[in-house]
Structure 1
Amino acid sequence: MSYASGEVGAVWRPVDAVPTIDRPLTRARLVGTGDVTGGRFGLFEWRMRPRAGGPAAHFHKTFSESFYVLSGAVRLFNGETWVEATAGDFLYVPERGVHAFRNDSDEPASMLILFAPGPPREEYFRELAEIGESGRRLTPEEWTELYARHDQYMV
């Protein structure tokens, strides 16, 4: 086997070049967005303040989602039951798998979230941040349209 035909294709993204989305209770660092990974995956670092709620139970039709807890305690819903995940714990959710997460503890928590393939999930989180910052109230129909546009189906 020869390795002489390898290519230079690595993408370097120093910490100060990683975009973030700050919300009152969470901060998302968009470490490896789909446009950086050629659509293969998306990788976000998700930091939650104490008692930070997360999304209600939902699923995605076109991509899987994985959660790897870095610090603190994160409540993860696997579609059937809530589990208390701590540093080093991992949850894989296949396409159409119902899931949710939140920080119910009195301490901050952080995790990595991996989307595969790499849809532009950052647009969904940017829209949510903009809605929250503007104080705009969406109608049920507008929420349904927003969720459908971003492959987010609430249960």
Structure 2
Amino acid sequence: MEHKHKETDTLFLKAGEGRVYNCGTMTAVFKADENETANKYSISEWWLEPNSDGSGAHQHEDNDEVFYGIEGTTSILVGDKWVDIEQGTFLRIPAKTVHDFANRTNEICGFLNFFIPGGFERNMPSIVKWFEDNK
């Protein structure tokens, strides 16, 4: 997916700005994609409605992921253990580690996600379609 910005541009996005993907009870807002970072990383915000599940347990063969809590409490599966991240909490999950996330609270939660190296945004159109087809 090509964007108007390239890797040598300064990116400045205010709250709520970016490329928005609606995935059922989740919303992803992509702030920087592979062509804007020379494929070094992708950065996105993920927002989960109260008492909702995430994407389902999965792993990435070649990508580390960083989660940073920005609002509420997000429960994240790392291997076979669930941990809670709150605002200001940092979590790195190495490649090949099974993980998932969920909101087990009565309040919205959100986290910042760094996908290293980049390219996760290529999956977003098919993820959105899956959620539309499986409401």
TM-score range, shorter chain: 0.7 to 0.9
Residue aligning to 1:102 = 102
Q: Report the count of equivalent residues.
A: 127
**Aligned residue type for 2:124:** F
Residue aligning to 1:12 = 11
Consecutive unaligned residues in structure 1, runs of 5 or more: 1-8, 137-155
**Aligned residue type for 1:74:** T
Pair 1:83–1:18, CA change in 2 (3 A): same
Residue aligning to 1:124 = 123
Contact kept in structure 1, 2:75 and 2:85, CA below 8 Å: yes
Residue aligning to 2:64 = 64
Other structure's SS at 1:58 match: coil
Question: What TM-score do the two structures reach when normalised by structure 2?
Answer: 0.84
Consecutive unaligned residues in structure 2, runs of 5 or more: 1-7
Q: Which has the higher helix share?
A: 1
CA distance in 2, matches of 1:132, 1:87: 27
Residue aligning to 2:39 = 39
1:49-98 CA-to-partner distances (Å, cap 9, x unmatched) read 10120122221111111110101010011113111221111110111112
CA distance in 2, matches of 1:17, 1:70: 16
CA distance in 1, matches of 2:83, 2:61: 23
Contact kept in structure 1, 2:18 and 2:29, CA below 8 Å: yes
Contact kept in structure 2, 1:11 and 1:36, CA below 8 Å: no
Pair 1:17–1:56, CA change in 2 (3 A): closer
Q: Which has the higher strand share?
A: 2
Residue aligning to 1:53 = 53
Offset of 1:10 from its aligned partner?
3.5
Pair 1:20–1:61, CA change in 2 (3 A): same
* Aligned-pair identity (%): 25
1:19-51 CA-to-partner distances (Å, cap 9, x unmatched) read 110133111111011111110100001111101
Residue aligning to 1:153 = none
CA distance in 1, matches of 2:130, 2:91: 29
Aligned Cα RMSD in Å? 1.9
Question: What TM-score do the two structures reach when normalised by structure 1?
Answer: 0.74
**Bigger CA radius of gyration:** 1
1:98-149 CA-to-partner distances (Å, cap 9, x unmatched) read 2111111110000001001112x1221221212332x37xxxxxxxxxxxxx
CA distance in 2, matches of 1:129, 1:30: 13
